[in-house]
Structure 1
Amino acid sequence: MSGLVVRSLSVGLEGTSTVTIQWTAPSPGSDQVNRYEVHWTPTLSNGTSNYNAAKSTLVKLTGFTSGQRYTFYVKSIEDGSRSSQQEVQTSPEAITINAGLNVVCDGGITCADSNSECIQAATGGTNICRCKSTYFDSNGYATNGGMCVLMSKLAVTNVILVKEGTDMVNISWTLPAEYTNQVNRYEVYWIPAKSDGSTSYNAELNTAVQLAGFTPGQTYTFSVRSVESGSRDQEQSYSTSTPATIMKPTTPSGFRETDVDGPVIILSWTLPSGISTSYDVRTTPTLNPTTTSTESIAYTSGVLDGQRYNITITTVSGSERSDPLEAKFRTVSKTPNPPTSIFCKAPTDQTITLGWTAPSLSRGDIQHYVVISITTGAMFTTTSSLADFTVGGLQPETIYTFSVATVNDAVTYTNRSIYSSQIGCTTKAASE
């Protein structure tokens, strides 16, 4: 019977519960073998301890316990020579089943998953197979049968950041495509820290949060971390970041004007909170410069006396701009210039109407004009800022010489200009 013993018995492993057993049929004598039986100890959890391989010389068997050491041998069964069957078996071949995740791996047992390692259990004592750093257990640490998967599989996607006001953000994201049940929580992080020192927020398992208290005008980088705590002693996380974003800066306040009497006009304001890189300052009529890096701006030329200016001041921080501060200011009215281009029109035998062009630099609001007759010494005050006046009570066919002065709303300065150049006008002949 020894001639029927199979040769070259080998046992191989597949995963954490499967073995492949192969042998070479006896030669000569293989025709006399009725069947081959594979036997092992200890028995499987279902109570089996052997398998009828018929005439096969290669079998794949499953159901073995991860991390368990088994002894295998193959029997050759012959039942054609005697009234009862005869058998002969190989020498035993021992092998330890590779350990799956969360399975004891003491005594040189190999961890089946190439991305796992044999390390001490969280509670100390025996070593077990656990996923290496940057990998997580697809079934969670408490459930056997998982595999080690890269942490990047837990990354959230479609992170959307929407700013609200000057210190608030709304952040939302899409869950990982798979293994979401292995995420313990999501955390939102930002750099730099807020004024209270915080750098993160626990979003639990929510996929949208609203956060406040950020510094206006500050540049932040946000990220959403998927935190996994079921595979190793320490938690692991994987981050998905947003591009750097600048918070909307605050609107300036506390506008004030200084030295509106000139010759240098200074405007200033305050920034209630936050950060600025510059300010955009626009005036109507236009004054230059239009930008400044401080909370004040000086105008040394082009400023008109007695001029009303509308102004907008906008805080700039990088590419972000605040809502504008809108204000008004007025420079001090000063002595006006006289009118120009005096002319006579529509003379009669007793009246002469004078017209003129308002001064290009009124240096304030024109209130009225004073017309003087050089010929008679009489003075006339107009009742408005209109640029004409009719002088009455004159003699026919008489030449009268006139001059005109501008009067504005100056208070601290003389409000009447010098007189304009003179002009002579002749009344018509009396009508019969």
Structure 2
Amino acid sequence: MTIAFPQQLLQLTGLVVTSLSVGVEGTSTVTITWNAPSPGVDQVSRYQIHWTPVLSNGTSSYTSAKATSVRLTGFVSGQMYNFSVKSVEDGSRQSPQEVQTSVVSITVDAGLGVGCDTDGSIKCSDTNAECTQTNDMLSTVCRCKASFFDSNGYDNTGGMCVAMSTLMVGGITFENKGSDSVNISWTPPAEYTDQVTRYEVSSVPPEIINGYTEYSAQLLTVVHLEGFTPGQTYTFSVSSVESGSRTQEQMTSITSSPITMKPVKPTSVLTADVDGPVIMISWTRPNGVKTSYDVFTTPSLSPTTTSTESITYSTGVIDGQRYNISITTVSGSERSDPLVATFRTVSKTPDPPTSLTCQTTTDKSITLSWIPPSLPRGDIQYYVVNSYSTGDMYTTTSSLTVFTVNSGLQPASYYAFSVATVNDAVTENNRSSFSSVLGCYTKSASK
């Protein structure tokens, strides 16, 4: 059969299109392209694309008018289709005539969970997927590669492979940190949280938490954990565990900056040697990790820090002094609550009082006053007043610094006195030397 054209006759087979190509996009779309016949393109009324098998909506063809490229969707993932293109001519006879290309066969790439062939005849559409055997080893399907997860889950089709890093939680924060416990919170991933099976918390160095070195928080984003070592520095990791894409679980983790648990204060002070002028204070080492101790006393002594469980003071120590001491355990930047205690140095022989004066006099009495010694070297118990003129010794009844001599004195007479301090010293003489001698006159007798 021939077709009559002006100036030439053309065989109908001359209207067959050339270079038919079928490309696959994803798991349901194909792109079909061809070259129009030449010469004779003007005689083509339209092109029809045909395929087998029929789609689920019942269609098996598409008319493209005179376009030479179409993009069609609705095909089944992993299914083989046969495509051909017909050139339709209806200008030379009463009935349209058509001529068809040879068939081009392609298989639509398999989506996740869809059957595939390891020889490449049915490929996985997702570049982050691989064709692998099913658990029962009876067939092969497309599954996400390691470090990727199926956005629809292991048993559902239509998903895509997403990088595991997408499931990483937001920044880790810490609250109510104690010596052996801490509250840890984090922000869930911005998307695909439904694909997180659980969160796991772990530490470096590792600790046993509820019997495991990894604590399963399930789907909680705040946990209270106990059992840590006081003063120890840890880094914590929160892992998002995903078990819906592969036969083995996979996870992605975020790690915190180092944090140090609060150290524990010492349990008791041991006054090992408080007999000056050099004294040593020691204490019981607390549980956990420590780097040093801060030690402060009132009145102040130096040094104020030590790396051992004792401290020695060799300057400025006052005999018989009561000291308040505060000992704080230090670990890195963290400090314990202070252990507060008191200790007292050994009392020694006191100094005599100073500034002895004749406060008041009568014709038969003399009242003396003085200033306590600047270094009593213990607790003053009383004073001894020595009357050189009469040979008498008087003992005060307390540590008061005023005493009246009112016996054995004559009017208008001179008397000499000195005073000594008596403290609570035991290991040495508890009475000081006598102060400088002071002379006082009684007044003349009244007429």
TM range (shorter): over 0.9
Give the alignment partner of residue 38 of structure 2, picking from 16, 20, 27.
27
What is the CA deviation profile of residues 86-130 of structure 1, one whole-angstrom value per residue up to 9, with x for unaligned ones?
A: 321001112222222222331313322222233333443544322
Deviations 1:210-237 (A, max 9, x none): 1100000000111211111122232221
The residue identity in structure 2 corresponding to 1:160 is T
Check the 8 A contact 1:261/1:332 in 2, yes or no: yes
What is the aligned partner in structure 1 of residue 257 from structure 2?
Answer: 243
The one of 281, 284, 309 equivalent to 1:295 is 309
Does residue 59 (structure 1) correspond to residue 70 (structure 2)? The answer is yes
Note the alpha carbon deviations across 1:240-269, whole angstroms, 9 max, x for none: 222111001112112221222344422222
Q: Which runs of 5+ in 2 are unaligned?
A: 1-11
Residues 369 and 402 in structure 2, CA contact (< 8 A), matched pair in contact too: yes
Distance 1:237 1:89 in 2: 54
- Secondary structure at 1:346's aligned position in 2? strand
1:111 to 106, 124, 129: 124
Tell me the TM-score normalized by structure 2.
Answer: 0.91
Give the secondary structure class of the aligned counterpart of 1:431: coil
**1:353-372 residue pairs with structure 2 within 5 A?**
353-372=367-386
Secondary structure at 2:431 match in 1:
coil
**Larger deviation: 219-228 or 77-86?**
77-86
Q: Answer with 120-129 or 340-349: which moved more.
A: 120-129
Contact 1:72–1:94 (CA<8 Å) still a contact in 2? yes
Residue of structure 1 equivalent to 2:196: 183
Asked whether the equivalents of residues 270 and 284 of structure 2 are also in contact (C-alpha less than 8 Å), the reply is: no
Please say if 1:429 is aligned against 2:444: yes
Report how far residue 43 of structure 1 moved. Answer: 2.5
Q: Indicate if the aligned counterparts of 1:163 and 1:247 stay in contact, CA closer than 8 A.
A: no
- Which 10-residue stretch deviates more, 317-326 or 48-57? 48-57
Moved more, 77-86 or 219-228: 77-86
Task: Give 2:214's match in structure 1, choosing from 182, 197, 200.
Answer: 200
* Contact 1:250–1:322, Cα closer than 8 Å, also in 2: yes
Q: Does 1:418 align with 2:433?
A: yes
User: Tell me, what secondary structure is at the counterpart of 2:347?
Assistant: coil
CA distance in structure 2 between the partners assigned to 1:354 and 1:87 by the alignment: 144
Question: Equivalences for 1:378-393 in 2 at 5 Å?
Answer: 378-393=392-407
Does the aligned pair in 2 maintain the 1:195–1:215 contact within 8 Å?
no
Task: Report the equivalent of 1:6.
Answer: 17
Matches of 2:173 and 2:351, distance apart in 1: 62
- Measure how far apart 1:403 and its partner are: 0.9
Deviation per residue, 1:129-160 (Å, 9 max, x gap): 22222222211121111122222211111422
2:290 aligns with one of 276, 279, 287: 276
Q: For 1:204-353, what aligned pairs fall within 5 Å after superposition?
A: 204-353=218-367
Identity of paired residues, percent? 65
1:192/1:199 contact within 8 Å kept: no
Give the structure 1 partner of residue 9 of structure 2: none
Deviation at 1:80, TM superposition (A): 4.3
Q: What amino acid is aligned across from residue 414 of structure 1 in structure 2?
A: N
The whole-number CA distance in structure 1 between the counterparts of 2:32 and 2:160 is 25
CA distance in 1, matches of 2:432, 2:361: 26
**How many Å separate the matches in 2 of 1:332 and 1:74?**
114
Cα distance in 2 for residues equivalent to 1:199 and 1:270: 31
* Deviation sequence 1:174-231 (CA, Å, 0-9, x none): 2111101111111111111126784310001111111100000000111211111122
Question: 1:38 aligned to 2:49?
Answer: yes
Range that drifts further, 133-142 or 190-199:
190-199
Shift of 1:299: 2.2
The size of the alignment, in residue pairs, is 432
- Structure 1 length as normaliser, TM-score? 0.94
Q: Is this contact kept in 2: 1:191–1:199, CA < 8 A?
A: no
Give the CA RMSD over aligned residues.
Answer: 2.0
Cα distance change on mapping 1:202 and 1:405 into 2, 3 Å: same
